Amino acid sequence: MELYEEKAGHLTEVHAEFFRKWDDLLTVEEQDSGRFRSQLWTMTAAKREKAGRYGTPIWGFGLTRRCFADMLISSYSNETATTHQKIHRHTYTFVRATSETQTERPSLLSGHIARGDPVSLSMEPDLLCLQRGFVTDLTPTSVTLGLTYPIDVDVLLSRTKHRRTQETPFVKFRIDKDEMSSGIMRMRNNIAQLLYKGGDEKRRKLIVDLERPYYEPARAPLPAEIPQSLNIDQVQAMHQVLTARDYALILGMPGTGKTTTIAEIIKALVERGKSVLLTSYTHSAVDTILMKLLDAKFGILRLGNVDKVSLVDCTRS
């Protein structure tokens, strides 16, 4: 009891309810990802790809493909970058296997697999998940993977009952999104950090206790800081962020101009002599905003895995 009081005596029922709510939601998400995770072992690549292609659209974006079936190796490279050290040693590009009886398949871009995603590589039906890697490039017709180990097809075939023949001279692979690489544990840890004794007390008050955030009107943007191209909502969002002392949240549907607004806010803050940390859950989201800052008259230091950053050439400090 003394240990409990020492570690958790500062928590209120509001804190406990906050943790229960978000832990339950993460558990539901974890169970859902587990359903997709098991498909690698319970569905063939063709069935999984078809199930994803014609499954229920998510958030109105249509296709939900989590697997590429019948992929052939088209090129290989083990060259290391001259200016940046890559975290993988071997690069393979795969394309679709085609035949006269097959109808044209949809673009590889129409699905849940994207550049930077972790994936598993398999040879059906004997060698499932023989290697893990990640997507370094993705086009409508090809996908490029960064792998730690080389693919020796003859050695792999020797471990199976299959052999190359004149009818089937090429070995087909399947590429599945690696559902094991979820951030559930990190999310749970972030929630716990809010509640630990001696943890992030300031954000606990703001996020859990819902303490009111404060704004300072004196920090409001001057007319010269507001571009004429912004609409009323974007100007209001810019005003809210620049006057925030604790935090400000911007909510907008896709296409409403959030990226443009964030870029203009960054420019205004730098003009005021501030340093800005731009971060996101994905590398692509950061790159999208940085694309709007390529002509900015200030230094940008881009941090991240070189294999997953699109704007390596613009990295500067």
Residue 177 confidence (pLDDT) above 60: yes
| Residue 31 pLDDT greater than 90, yes or no | no
Q: Among candidates 187, 201, 195, which has minimal Cα distance to 18?
A: 195
Q: How confident is the model at residue 262 (pLDDT cuts 50, 70, 90)?
A: very high
Do 201 and 227 lie in one domain? The reply is no
One domain for residues 136 and 188: no
Query: Do 12 and 112 fall within a single domain?
Result: no
Please, which residues have CB within 8 angstroms of residue 41's CB and are 6 or more apart in sequence? 128
Based on the domain organization, do 106 and 123 belong to the same domain?
yes
Which of these three, 175, 202, 236, is where a domain ends?
175
What DSSP element (H or E) covers 119?
strand 118-123
Q: Do residue 132 and residue 163 come from a single domain?
A: yes
180 or 28: whose pLDDT is higher? 28
Q: Clarify whether residues 309 and 219 are in a common domain.
A: yes
Same domain assignment for residues 229 and 245: yes
In percent, the amount of the chain with pLDDT more than 90 equals 39
pLDDT tops 70 at residue 7: yes
Percent of the chain with pLDDT over 70: 83
Structural domain contains residue 144: yes
Q: Which pLDDT belongs to residue 309?
A: 72
Do 262 and 303 have their domain in common? yes
58 in any annotated domain? no
Q: What is the CATH number of the domain that holds 81?
A: 2.40.30.270
Read off the pLDDT of each residue in 177-199 and give the average, rounded to a whole number: 80
**Looking at the 3D structure of the chain, how many domains does it have?**
3
Among the ranges given (22-31, 163-172, 273-282), the one the predictor scored with the smallest mean pLDDT:
163-172
pLDDT, tens digit (0-9, with 9 covering 90-100), for 145-170 = 999 889 998 888 888 877 776 666 78
Mean pLDDT score of the chain: 83
Q: Has residue 262 been placed in a domain?
A: yes
pLDDT digits (tens, 9 = 90+) for 100-135: 555 566 788 877 788 888 899 998 778 888 898 989
Give a yes or no: residue 51 inside a domain: no
Residue-wise burial string across 224-233, b where 16 or more C-beta atoms lie within 10 A, e elsewhere: ebbeeebeee
48 in a structural domain? no
Q: Does one domain contain both 185 and 167? A: no
N-terminal to C-terminal alpha carbon distance within the chain = 53
Residue 50 domain flag: no
The pLDDT, as a whole number, for residue 40 is 74
Q: Using pLDDT thresholds of 50, 70 and 90, give the confidence band for residue 41.
A: confident
Q: What are phi and psi of 265, to 5 degrees?
A: -65, -40
Q: Is residue 204 in a domain? A: yes
Rounded Cα distance, 4 and 247, in Å: 33
pTM above 0.75, yes or no: no
Per the domain annotation, does 249 fall within a domain?
yes
| Mean pLDDT across 26-42 | 77
Task: Please name which of 42, 3, 43, 15 lies closest in space to residue 199, comparing C-alpha atoms.
Answer: 15
pLDDT tier, 79 (very low <50, low <70, confident <90, very high otherwise) = low
Helical pair 45-53 and 13-42, crossing angle rounded to 10 deg: 130
| pLDDT of 138 over the 80 cut | yes
| Shared-domain flag, residues 189 and 225 | no
DSSP annotation of 180 reads: T
Do 33 and 128 lie in one domain? The reply is no
Q: Are residues 221 and 281 in the same domain?
A: yes
Domain span at residue 220 reads 215-314
Q: pLDDT-derived band of residue 311, with 50, 70 and 90 as boundaries?
A: low
Per residue in 199-244, pLDDT (tens digit) is 888 999 999 999 999 999 999 999 999 999 999 999 999 999 999 9
pLDDT (0 to 100) of residue 44: 81
Q: What mean pLDDT comes out for the span 24-45?
A: 79
